[in-house]
Structure 1
Amino acid sequence: MSSVVNHKNVERIENKISDCLNRAERYFKIGLQRPSFNFKQRGRTAGTAYLQRNEMRFNTYMLQQDPDKFIDHVVPHELAHIVVYQVFGSKVRPHGKEWIAVMEHLFDVEASRTHDFDVPKPRNLFLYQCACQVHEFTAHRHGRAVKGTQYVCRYCRKNLNFLKKK
C-alpha cells in the first residue's frame, strides 16, 4: 500500500468492498472472488478495474481530496465492473445495463461514468500551434504525435504543429 494513504482509509475501502460484495453475493446467490486493490492509479482517472486480474487501482491524489466521496462512489464503481465480469462474463458493455443495475440497485450509488475530482497538473507540457491558437499537449499526447498521429484544431480545422517544450 502507498505510504500517503492512511490506515483508516485503507480499512474503510476494505469495508466498502466487503459490504458491496456481500450484497452482490446475496442477490446473485453465488460466491464472488474478492478483488485485490492498490494505489497505483495515476493521472486523470480516479480508478480502474482490471477484470482478468481481479484487481482495482485507485488514485491517491483524488482519494485525499474527499475520502468519503471517493469511498462512497469510486470504490463501488470499480467493484461493480468486477462483479459484472464475474457474474456475466466479458460479453457485456463496461457501463452497460448490467453495470448500471449493480451500481443503482445493489450498491445504491448513482451510476456515473465520470468524476468531478481535481486532476493533477501535467508536469511536462509541449506546445503545438495551429492557425488560431497555441495548444498544450501532455507528454503522452506529444509522444503519439511524434509517432505520427495527426492532431487537428477543432476550431480552425488546421493541423497542429510542434512549437517547443513548455
Structure 2
Amino acid sequence: MSSSTHRVVSRHRFAPDHALACLGEAPATPLPLADAAALEALTAPALHATLEAQVLACLARARALFPELRVPSVSCRLKGRTAGTADSARQRLRFNWQLLSENRHHFLSQTVPHEVAHWVVMEVVERAGKTRVKPHGPEWQQVMTNLYGVPPEVTHRMDVSTASPAPWAYGCGCDTAHYFSSRRHANAQRGHRYRCRRCGQELSGPLNDPARNASIAH
C-alpha cells in the first residue's frame, strides 16, 4: 500500500431483498460536528462525552433503518497505531484515546463513522444473515457512503509516532491490520514467515516507513 490515503469507491448495487438495500444509492449528508477550534478547546471529560455522543448519533441514524441494531459499549483503551475497532462478539467499539486527543475533528468525523459502519455490517449482514463479508467490502462501503456520507477510506493518516510500540505495518488478504516491532520486522526481512490468523495468508511488507507519516489502517 502506498503512503497516500487508500480510498475505495462503492458502485455496488444490492438486490432488493438484501439487508442493506434500504440504503439506496444516493450519498448521505454527514452528521453535524463542531468546528476544529471548538473541539480543540474541550477538556478530556468533554472530549470523551463528545465521542460517545458521536457514536450514539451514528447509531441513531442506523437504528432508524435497522431498529433491532444492538448498541455496543464504547471504550477508549485501544493502544498503538490502530484508531478504532468494532467487536460484535464482545459488543463493543474500541477507540484510541491518544489519536483522538491529537486529531479530534478527523477522528470524530471519519474514524467514528468508520467503526460504527463496521458494527452495522457485522450486526445487520453478518450476525442476522449468518454470513461473513470482507471487512472493507461493498457492504461497508455502502454504509459509509449512503448512511454516513463519509468517503470509505480504509486507512488514516494521523501521526502515530507517539502512539505505537510496533511501528512497522504489514498486510494480508483480508484487510486485517498487522503491526510489527522492530525486532519482528527484522526477522521478517531475514526470511521468517508470519501468517494472518484470520485469513491464513502470509503477511507481506513493510507497507510503510515509520520515519514518515504513512497511511495506517483504522
TM-score normalised per structure 1? 0.70
**Farther-moved stretch of structure 1 (13-22 vs 110-119):** 13-22
Which residue number corresponds to residue 101 of structure 1? Answer: 142
- Which structure's relative contact order is higher, taking Cα pairs within 8 Å and 6+ residues apart? 2
1:128-156, CA deviations, whole angstroms, 9 ceiling, x for partnerless residues? Answer: xxxxxxxxx725626976xx9259999xx
Report 1:83-94 matches (<5 A): 83-89=120-126, 90-94=131-135
- For structure 2, the 5+ residue unaligned runs are 1-42, 168-179, 195-203, 207-218
Distance, in Å, in 2 between the alignment partners of 1:72 and 1:149 is 39
User: Structure 1: 5+ residue runs without aligned partners?
Assistant: 125-136, 155-166
Q: Which deviations, in whole Å up to 9, do the C-alpha atoms of 1:98-147 show, x marking residues without a partner?
A: 111111111111111100101135489xxxxxxxxxxxx725626976xx
Query: Could you report, residue by residue, the CA deviation over 1:24-76 in whole angstroms, capped at 9, with x for unpaired residues?
Result: 11123x22111111122111111111121121111122111121210111111
Residue 138 of structure 1 aligns to which amino acid in structure 2? S
**Distance in 2, Cα, partners of 1:104 & 1:34:** 21
Matched, 1:11 2:52: no
What's the offset of the Cα at 1:12?
1.1
Q: Within 2, Cα distance between the matches of 1:76 and 1:140?
A: 34
Q: 1:57 aligns with which of 94, 104, 107?
A: 94
Greater fraction strand? 1
Structure 2 residue aligned with 1:113, among 154, 158, 176? 154
Give yes or no for contact 1:80–1:99 (8 Å, CA) kept in 2.
yes
Percent identity among equivalent residues?
39
Q: Where do residues 133-144 of structure 1 align in structure 2 (5 Å cutoff)?
A: 138=181, 141=184
Letter in 2 for 1:141: R
In structure 2, what is the Cα distance between the partners aligned to 1:74 and 1:10?
14
What is the aligned counterpart of 1:149 among 192, 195, 214? 192
Say what the alpha-carbon RMSD is for the aligned residues: 3.0
Moved runs in structure 1, 4+ residues, more than 6 A? 151-154
TM-score (norm 2): 0.54
Residue of structure 2 in register with 1:160 after alignment: none
Max Rg structure: 1
1:95–1:140 Cα change, 3 Å: farther
Contact 1:23 1:106 in 2 (8 A): yes
Contact 1:49 1:81 in 2 (8 A): yes
CA distance, structure 2, for counterparts of residue 119 and residue 36 of structure 1: 25
Q: Give the length in aligned residue pairs.
A: 136
Write the distance in 1 (CA, Å) between the matches of 2:205 and 2:105.
Answer: 39
CA distance in 2, matches of 1:144, 1:47: 28
SS in 2 for 1:57: strand
